[in-house]
Amino acid sequence: MLARSRQVALVLTVVLAAGAACQARDHEPPRPGRPAPAAEPRGFTLVASGDVLPHDSIIDRARFDAGGTGYDFRPMLSGIRPVVSRADIALCHLETVHGENGDHTGHPSSHSPPEVAAALAATGYDGCSTASHHSPDDGADGIRRTLDALDRAGVRHAGSARSEQEARTVTVLRAGDAEVAHLAYGYDTDGPPTPPGQPWAVGVIDEAKIIEDARAARAAGADVVVVSMHWGTAWQDAPDERQLLLARSLTAARSGGLPAVDLILGTHAHVPQAYEKVNGTWVVYGMGNQVAGEMTGPDGTPDPRGNQSTLGRFTFTPPARAGGRWEVAEAEFVPQLFDIDAGRVVNLNQALAQGADVRTVRDRIRDVALSRGAAKDGLVMGE
């Protein structure tokens, strides 16, 4: 069963509630005078995927899938559900805000139907990053509607906030024996500004602030700190200089003898970008668009890369000693394609195994994911 998140305020004194004790493996009943054997600590698997960006064609498809009444986004995500639902923690990136009263548009101002949240939950997602340049598209009301819908669906969120207190709150998800903090930031709000008087409504990338937040989460008891970054140069396969510099500085930061950040998950570039292990920490520079309509590149023509993405899967193991780091024992990427004709997310390896002619696009995504030498650090392509 997927872990569900809890939110814990980061104030001067923060106490994380102790998680449920893990169940011991089956053993004979202990003999009198002999203590029961302790259960071994459990690791966990985390999966993460790229931008959910419902353009007009995506909204129209969801209405068709709902039979013309309401919207149903579940069918378009069903192809990746087996991968997502088996993870202990699954994180998405919701780039748009929710509209109201049927005001649902995809571009340039994005007002998605609230049914998106229910579909993410049904697919198995536990949390979403919500910090992006689209976050202020409908002001404070859009942020409120979006987070309210995610709350109703049971999907936690990080990166935007309805109040200053919520902005100072870290989202914590329980996975196995680990408390996992999820932080999220966007590169800018290059459309509408943040709501007046609410500079805290959307988390904006600031190196010092991210490190401060990560250290606070670690000090509050988080075993693993995951940072979602809406960053990079759109349509650029390679990470840009700012991504590289931020990745180096964030992964070099320390907190109480441990790295301040354990995993960085990138979105925004609209195309898949490389995975890389930096200072011993995995960085996904860009996962690409998981759900989007036909994308037009910088030259004004349709660019199929805008419907290609990866899903990252990381298996964490408990520390070898008390107070040590939770390490990534396995790092994988799953190549994906959003089929704009069928309106479905496609797991390319599964499609290839079923005889679909997708080897060329699958191999292109693979080559990009491995383009910064991640294979030598153990990154493999998963099913």
In a domain, 85, yes or no: yes
In a domain, 2, yes or no: no
In a domain, 14, yes or no: no
In a domain, 307, yes or no: yes
In a domain, 80, yes or no: yes
Q: Are 96 and 117 in contact (CB under 8 A)?
A: no
Q: Which of 281, 243, 242 is nearest to 260 (CA)?
A: 281
What pLDDT score was predicted for residue 16? 32
Q: Name the DSSP class of 38.
A: P
Question: How far out from the chain centre does Cα 175 lie?
Answer: 15
- Share the mean pLDDT of the chain: 88
On the question of pLDDT at 45 being above 60, the answer is: yes
CATH for 253: 3.60.21.10
In a domain, 9, yes or no: no
What pLDDT score was predicted for residue 295? 93
What pLDDT score was predicted for residue 31? 45
Determine the average pLDDT of the residues in 25-35: 43
- End-to-end Cα, the chain, rounded Å: 20
What pLDDT score was predicted for residue 44? 98
- 105 falls in which pLDDT band (50, 70, 90)? low
Residue 75 CB-half CA count within 13 A: 14
User: In a 10 Å sphere around its CB, with 0-12 CB exposed, 13-18 middle and 19+ buried, how is residue 31 labelled?
Assistant: exposed
Determine the average pLDDT of the residues in 185-191: 71
Extract the tokens encoding 108.
Answer: 């340039």
Parallel, antiparallel or unpaired: strands 224-230 and 327-339? unpaired
**What is d(CA 109, CA 88) in angstroms, rounded to the nearest whole number?**
34
On the question of pLDDT at 268 being above 80, the answer is: yes
What pLDDT score was predicted for residue 245? 98
Extract the tokens encoding 226.
Answer: 């995951």
- Judged by average pLDDT, the poorest of 110-114, 220-224, 277-281 is 110-114
Domain count, the chain: 1
Q: Which of 122, 176, 132 is nearest to 154 (CA)?
A: 122
Look up the domain containing 260 and give its range: 40-381
**What is d(CA 285, CA 169) in angstroms, rounded to the nearest whole number?**
25
**For 287-327, how does the pLDDT look when each residue is reduced to its tens digit (9 = 90+)?**
999 999 999 999 999 999 999 999 999 999 999 998 899 99
Q: Are 217 and 260 in contact (CB under 8 A)?
A: no
- 41 falls in which pLDDT band (50, 70, 90)? confident
What pLDDT score was predicted for residue 190? 56
Determine the average pLDDT of the residues in 129-156: 90
**What is d(CA 29, CA 37) in angstroms, rounded to the nearest whole number?**
10
What pLDDT score was predicted for residue 138? 73
> 10 Å Cβ neighbour count for 371?
18
Q: Are 219 and 263 in contact (CB under 8 A)?
A: no
**What is d(CA 32, CA 34) in angstroms, rounded to the nearest whole number?**
6
What pLDDT score was predicted for residue 176? 87
In a domain, 34, yes or no: no
In a domain, 30, yes or no: no
**What is d(CA 307, CA 362) in angstroms, rounded to the nearest whole number?**
12
Q: Are 47 and 90 in contact (CB under 8 A)?
A: yes
- Judged by average pLDDT, the poorest of 33-42, 127-136, 174-183, 351-360 is 33-42
- Taking the alpha carbons of 327, 123, 204, 283 in that order, is the dihedral positive or negative? positive
On the question of pLDDT at 156 being above 90, the answer is: yes
CA diameter of the chain: 77
pTM for the structure as a whole: 0.89
